[in-house]
Structure 1
Amino acid sequence: MDLLSGAVTPPTGGPVPVVLIGAGKVAHAAHLRELRDLRHVLRLVAVVENDPVHLAAVRAGGFPDAAVCGSPEEAVRAGARAALVCTPWWTHREVVGACLEAGLPVLCEKPVSLDLAEIDQLLAAEERAGVPVAAGYMKRHDPVVARFIDHCRAELPRARRFEIDIHDPNAPHQVAHLLPYPPQPFGPQPPAAERALRRALGAAAGSVQREAYARGLGGSLIHQVNIVHAVLAGSGLRLDGRLLHADQWADGAGIGVRWRPDRMLLIDATHLRVPEHRRYRETLEFTAETSVATLGLPSPYARDESATLTVETWDARGAQSERRTYTAEPGRTGFRQQLLAWAASLSGEPGPGPAGPPGLPGLLEVREDARVMREAALRLA
């Protein structure tokens, strides 16, 4: 067994003052508890949030001195130098755009947007502002996931199948123990989200397609499509335009998508909402000619569990095989490692990455992922 520390070098110039915009579920279930532990690299100086219950929870949760602001501009006056955006996705064009106008680099929760036109607007705003938008693909920062991606890239010329299988409760009990207030029940999309989905998919799309795009595809599988795109980067293979079919079953609770980037490789992805399950389960399996890599991921909100990667290789001629298992220290979650990488980028620390802040996926990846998910949504019957 190979224990991965996943350590990221913290910035050397002192903690970066940041504003949290949106103090809802993902902020409390993930980001705020990490920020409490990462005060040496990120300092929460302001919050933009209009719900008094959510604000009170921020103050009681360890940030009593954070200024309450009504806009990114006010947050800048309060000392913020970067913005962590955790508002609903259909608000991101306006919120992220306002941050860029205020000169704030942004880390935006996924999906940054499901509307290609909005993403193009954000790309233009990013170029005008000269400060970057990083996408909240926190799984990419898990050291075990990074090892899986590296293995898949190395074996891609011999790849035959890439399978993704998610069992997701997607229910209040999944995060209830992490929130300081009762979680919202699972229900229909808010009117503002419905309007945004209609714009994103077009008038011809039906309710099943909009719901699938908002949740199973754009709300979940877009993470894994980003991982697939990271594997395929630079190979000439692509998912866009290679869709074989997209299905939904169980009254829309199950979504399945299949692509064939070339004649040798098949990619299958499924998301199944099963609220009766008490645990989230995610498995990615990459099969090549002489190896199989299996990645198991716990709930993204789990801190006491870590990803596990098993790589099996064999030599048929010598009848020899090898099986290696990799994991990481508890607490080395994707959310934590993402915030550390973001802090390092804000402080000018060097890091890998072809686009966006160093080591962080940017808006170009967001656009590619959304285009592929949109194509799948429109293919659903």
Structure 2
Amino acid sequence: MAEERGGAVPIALVGAGKVAHAAHLRELRDLPDLLRLAAVVDPDPAHTAAVRAAGFPAVPWCGTLAEAVAAGARAALVCTPWWTHRDVVLECLELGLPVLCEKPVTLDLAEVEELAEAERRTGVPVAAGYMKRHDEVVDLFLGHCRERLDRARRLTVDIHDPNAPHQVAHLLPYPPAPFGPQPPAARAALERALGPGSTPAQREAYARGLGGSLIHQVNLVHAVLDGSGRELYGRLLHADRWAAGDGVSCRWRPDDALVVDLTHQRTPGHRRYQEVLELTAEDGVATLTLPSPYSRDESATLTVETWDARTGLGERTTRTAAPGRTGFRRQLAAWARSLGAGASGPPASGAGAPLPGLADVRRDARATREAALRLV
């Protein structure tokens, strides 16, 4: 990509559906010096028309990735449904297109290995779309957790998620699809991922509450545990499903001193998304509150309370970020810099954030798959 070094990287948007309109296109408009939308690859030309109306009037519609390469694309932002990711990412790698793929990249461990082998063979990198890892306040929370890991006792995640059309309707150029059964292709992919002995309830939970949502938080927990010798996989205590599948939770014990509790509740009657992560340590509590991932006028808030048992004195600090400094934006900036964009200019905000890859995908999928198969 030497011809693009120092300038904006031309990319293909593969899939112009909900997450593209609700998140990525809004951020791409604000990062013209780093990323340039060179093509849209989507089977529906109407989706490309919606992209043009969203601020990219000259972007060409392409029916294939090869056409996108011919149009000038040098990397691919993959936003297709998760069960299509394996085929799309493999084709990108064969064409030499570095990939940023929305989560979950895949829920199938065999597919992870296939993608990793293709990545090694082609030398073309795959980045996983764990945008929460790029939020500045989330990064502060992760650093706090790592510093206190030897004193930590409990790490919790509690998500109240409408997971309903009203959550993103105002961000889309067309009515969002209603919440409903997984399509046949997704059901087949889930059976392959969990095995023919898995139940429909386990597969549904794996696709949504666990693999569709909590896999983000599993990735955050793994970022805290990384390098400590502690793991989630193999340390699962239990996994539960309730409210006809609208609730799912799991508990791990990475070591004898620490438990990790993660819960996702679909609350379609509630208007707002809420996510709370909390670390309880021997000498304090850190609470991270996150708004909807699609919100630009709200930001994460981190509150840390510590105390000294000897003196009886405590301290409370609160950190937040300016609205608009979203994980999606910082993720795109980090990806662009990894591709060589703007290399001649000053570092962009978020340029130093790590880009999780297929090793993260493998680790996260192992833990969530184990939890899914434990559900009764």
Q: Distance in 2 between matches of 1:297 and 1:123?
A: 32
The yes-or-no answer on 1:118 pairing with 2:111 is: yes
AA aligned to 2:42 is E
Q: What is residue 8 of structure 1 aligned with on the other side?
A: none
The SS at the match of 1:170 is coil
Question: How far apart are residue 54 of structure 1 and its match?
Answer: 1.4
User: 1:345 touches 1:358 (CA, 8 Å); kept in 2?
Assistant: no
- Aligned residue among 354, 357, 380 for 2:375: 380
Residue correspondence of structure 1 range 168-247 to structure 2 within 5 A? 168-247=161-240
Q: Distance in 1 between matches of 2:255 and 2:42?
A: 47
Question: How far apart are residue 147 of structure 1 and its match?
Answer: 0.5
Q: What is residue 359 of structure 2 aligned with on the other side?
A: 364
TM-score after normalising by structure 2? 0.95
User: 2:104 touches 2:211 (CA, 8 Å); kept in 1?
Assistant: yes
User: 2:134 touches 2:353 (CA, 8 Å); kept in 1?
Assistant: no
Q: Distance in 1 between matches of 2:229 and 2:66?
A: 42
User: 1:164 touches 1:284 (CA, 8 Å); kept in 2?
Assistant: yes
The SS at the match of 1:251 is helix
Q: Distance in 2 between matches of 1:52 and 1:18?
A: 18
Moved more, 183-192 or 49-58: 49-58
- Aligned residue among 60, 64, 68 for 1:67: 60
Q: Distance in 2 between matches of 1:358 and 1:70?
A: 33
Residue correspondence of structure 1 range 1-381 to structure 2 within 5 A? 13-347=6-340, 359-381=354-376
1:122-163 Cα shifts (integer Å, max 9, x gaps): 000111110110000000000000000000000001000001
* Moved beyond 6 Å, runs of 4+: none
The SS at the match of 2:239 is strand
Question: How far apart are residue 12 of structure 1 and its match?
Answer: 7.1
User: 1:12 touches 1:347 (CA, 8 Å); kept in 2?
Assistant: yes
AA aligned to 2:177 is Q
The SS at the match of 2:153 is strand
TM-score after normalising by structure 1? 0.94
User: 1:212 touches 1:252 (CA, 8 Å); kept in 2?
Assistant: yes
Q: Distance in 1 between matches of 2:317 and 2:66?
A: 51
Question: How far apart are residue 284 of structure 1 and its match?
Answer: 0.2
Count of matched residue positions in the alignment of Structure 1 and Structure 2: 365
AA aligned to 1:96 is V
Q: Distance in 2 between matches of 1:66 and 1:173?
A: 29
Q: Distance in 1 between matches of 2:34 and 2:317?
A: 34
Q: Distance in 1 between matches of 2:319 and 2:66?
A: 45
Change (3 A) 1:78 1:105: same
Give the alignment's Cα RMSD to 1 decimal: 1.4
The SS at the match of 1:33 is helix
Question: How far apart are residue 358 of structure 1 and its match?
Answer: 7.1
User: 1:19 touches 1:80 (CA, 8 Å); kept in 2?
Assistant: yes
User: 2:100 touches 2:129 (CA, 8 Å); kept in 1?
Assistant: yes
AA aligned to 2:152 is A
User: 1:167 touches 1:281 (CA, 8 Å); kept in 2?
Assistant: yes
Q: Distance in 1 between matches of 2:60 and 2:226?
A: 42
Q: Distance in 2 between matches of 1:316 and 1:22?
A: 55
Question: How far apart are residue 70 of structure 1 and its match?
Answer: 2.0
Question: How far apart are residue 53 of structure 1 and its match?
Answer: 2.6
The SS at the match of 1:111 is coil
